[in-house]
Amino acid sequence: MDEFIEELTHPKPVHEVIARALREKIVLHQIAPGSPLREKELAEQHGVSRRNLKDALKILATEGLVEFQPRRGALVTKLERERLRDTLETIGTLERLAGELACANASQDEITTLRHYHDLMARHYRNRDAASFFRYSQHFHQGIVEAAGNEVLAKIYRLLNGQAARARYLAHMTAELWDQVMEEQDEIMLALEARAADRLAELLEDSLLHRAQRVLDLLPNAR
């Protein structure tokens, strides 16, 4: 519902809408790493021109989710262990800074919106709806970055988050890790509402980095 209202009130260019739809499918592993992305087929499927589809793929390429190969066209990138590790470490540092800044700069309306996302995450966690839980988890973490009020930070985060999101989703695929994520999420929300900057910064970074190696361990064949 939130995304539907957003589209009505702040319509985006067609290629950005298509990029978001494809990004979600890639992040949720509904399109597997290494899969070809056939422009004609995808353009027809989404009811858009091939130019719009190609522009959407270019956005995903800048995020490291898609690559273009000679004679093969566009492919979903594979999860490369070293790059993924480096990306997760960087995202952890960015989220730490975002947490500190959000405690100082976030409006009460922004914190209320983040509480709304948190409550939706809790509902989907209880219902064991991993895809919906993850969708609002992404909204939550992106929301903290936006609430930090630093556009440079937000741009860098958006550029790297696609790769990190694929790893985060894998963490929700085991009951043990998912339970841990929800426990950490509760602590993060409380720290944000208290505007406890040091505590929130530590929780955000540790929440990601403590899971990073375990997520990488789920990819024994990653190269």
**What domains, with CATH codes, occur in the chain?**
2-76 (1.10.10.10), 81-217 (1.20.120.530)
SS3 15: helix
pLDDT above 90 as % of the chain? 62
The helix (run of H) or strand (run of E) holding residue 33 is: none
pLDDT of amino acid 11? 64
Output DSSP code: residue 128.
Answer: T
* Between residues 189 and 1, the one the model is more confident about: 189
Say if residue 216's pLDDT is above 80: no
Contact 68, 103 (CB under 8 A): no
pLDDT of amino acid 26? 93
Maximal C-alpha separation, the chain: 55
Instruction: Round to whole Å and give the CA distance between 69 and 172.
Output: 31
Give mean pLDDT, residues 188-211: 93
Say if residue 59's pLDDT is above 80: yes
pLDDT in tens, 120-130: 999 999 999 98
Say if residue 220's pLDDT is above 80: no
Specify the residue for token string 């839980």.
133
Contact 211, 107 (CB under 8 A): no
In order of 28, 46, 136, 190, 207, the CA distances from 1 in angstroms are 19, 20, 12, 25, 28
Question: Quick one: pLDDT band at residue 221, thresholds 50, 70, 90?
Answer: low
pTM (whole model) above 0.75: yes
